[in-house]
Amino acid sequence: MVQAVIFDLGNTLIKYYTREEFPEILKEAIENCTRILSDKGQLFVQKELIQERVKKHNHGSPGNKVYPLEQRLASIFELTDETMLRELCTAFMKPILKTSKLYDEVLPVLRELKRRNYTVAVLTNTPWGCPSNIWISELDRYDLTEYINTAVCCYDVGWRKPDPRPFKHLLNILNLEPKQCLFVGDDPRWDIEGPQALGMKTLLIDRTGLNPDAAHGLDEVLDVLAEDDFRE
């Protein structure tokens, strides 16, 4: 029997940018950081070199290891000051966060899951390896925290989905077996192949309607939970 429903965050609970939109968002994010350093008289890298380094760092680490935003920005701007790097992380994330919109069905579904006494958790990668506190704060901003028992960012585990370690970390927190969990997400590799490899039940969300085999909204989570094969 499923006892916990685990959600991805970005583009599952809250809508953000698409892959196609990210290059412009990344450009704005780096411009924010550049402006702060310039205003403080701490910009010591030419803009042409900054652009080259951004292209170099616009990737994940091998083997799904987390590549933290602080390290990327430290390398791009030749910084070591941790306080400044934290400020730049916040500035970097602003254009990402301003794209956000809570999907209409999220709160009703979370309320119903709580009413039915399901454990609800979030397991999410973070954009460009941003610090967890910035990303998790989105749950507070959209009043989701009261419906979520546990939220884990892969940043804190050190490994990104679909690596098994973030899933195992969350399972240890929940004290549950994989077969007792339903994982819901929008990415076929990160949110479906990853948890399935551990034995979790999964539900792919595709709000574009292009995938006929996927759910088209979170309200279908309740339908899935009601099916006999999810009630052993």
User: Per residue in 114-150, pLDDT tens?
Assistant: 999 999 999 999 999 999 999 999 999 999 999 999 9
- Please, how many CA atoms are within 13 Å of residue 120, restricted to the half-sphere of its CB? 23
150 and 204, same domain (yes or no): yes
Over range 165-174, report the average pLDDT.
98
CA distance 187 to 11: 9
70 and 119, same domain (yes or no): no
Range with lowest mean pLDDT among 51-65, 100-114, 125-139, 155-169: 51-65
- The pLDDT assigned to 129 comes to 97
pTM: 0.95
Tell me which of 35, 67, 97 is where a domain ends: 97
Query: How many domains does the chain divide into?
Result: 2
108 and 205, same domain (yes or no): yes
107 and 222, same domain (yes or no): yes
Domain that holds residue 159: 4-16+101-230
| DSSP states of 49-111 | HHHHHHHHHSSPPGGGB---HHHHHHHHHT---HHHHHHHHHHHHHHHHTT-EE-TTHHHHHH
Q: Please report where in the chains the tokens 């085999």 appear, as a residue.
A: 213
Query: 228 pLDDT exceeds 70?
Result: no
216 and 201, same domain (yes or no): yes
Percent with pLDDT over 90 in the chain: 92
Tell me which of 72, 97, 122 is where a domain ends: 97
40 and 122, same domain (yes or no): no
- Written as six digits, the tokens of 195 are 């948890």
Tell me which of 79, 97, 115 is where a domain ends: 97
- The pLDDT assigned to 26 comes to 98
CA distance 47 to 189: 36
